Amino acid sequence: MDFRNKGGAGMKAAVILFPGMNCENETLRALKAAGFDADLLRWNTKKEFSHYDCFVLPGGFSYEDRIRAGVISAKDPVMERIKEEANSGKPVLGICNGAQVLIESGLVPGFSNEPQMALAPNTNPEIGGYYCVWVRIKPVMKRRNAYNLLCRENDVIDIPIAHGEGRFTTREDVGRIKDLIAFQFCNEYGEVEDSFPTNPNGSLLSIAGITNREGNVLAIMPHPERASFEKQTLAYGFKTLGLNIFKSMKRHIEEKK
């Protein structure tokens, strides 16, 4: 399917800003570093979406996370427009609060229009509620998706989390969910462990990120935009592999042309 933008020469990305989100600027910088021409669009924009090649919902606390994280934004009319773009094959990336919006909207895992998963409150033995720490994730490479094209089988990505409701869970058949896992929490050797601190929030199957069946929509709780530049990671001795998630999204769009 050809979903190139209709105007301009660059690859265009839109960052959708709901009231209360606060990671939009870091996300814009990461997209631009990955080669995108990126714009920030407010949730109530009337701007035409067909000119954009992909969409990113950043982190934060949309609508103050009232009721539960992401649920009010998921009901906003703009999400119907996002669903149309996703159904046309365009990549849609939700990071942290953006992931919560995608889960609440049913876009991920996408078995129906209703939510089939939840991002429940964290469970770990050290702290209740909001938890901010550097963790490690690995890509699940058995299935190509729009976000792992530049990842390698043995990659261990150092990346921060910052959330209170990040525990992926579901009442769906776990077998259906398992095939859609894109990233899992792991230790420094790339080994997946269910126990804390490797799995920092108690997520089912150590899920850090999961896609829809088509692989063009990703809900990921860790923040790749905060692990994309040396100034963010150099003090820890980490590699800036988070940027590869954005670069993979660009590669996916190029391959679809």
Look up 132 and say whether it is catalytic: no
Give the count of alpha carbons within 13 A of 93, CB side only. Answer: 31
- Active-site residue (options: 23, 26, 163, 223): 223
Instruction: Single out the residue of 192, 195, 172, 159 nearest to residue 118, CA to CA.
Output: 172
CA angle 189, 248, 86 (to 5 degrees): 120
- Active-site residue (options: 23, 26, 54, 96): 96
- Active-site residue (options: 24, 85, 104, 225): 225
Look up 23 and say whether it is catalytic: no
One-letter-per-residue 3-state SS of 71-126: HHHHCCCHHHHHHHHHHCCCCEEEECHHHHHHHHHCCCCCCCCCCCEEEECCCCCC
Look up 153 and say whether it is catalytic: no
* DSSP per position, 213-232: TTS-EEEESS-GGGSSSHHH
Q: Residues with catalytic annotation? A: 96, 223, 225
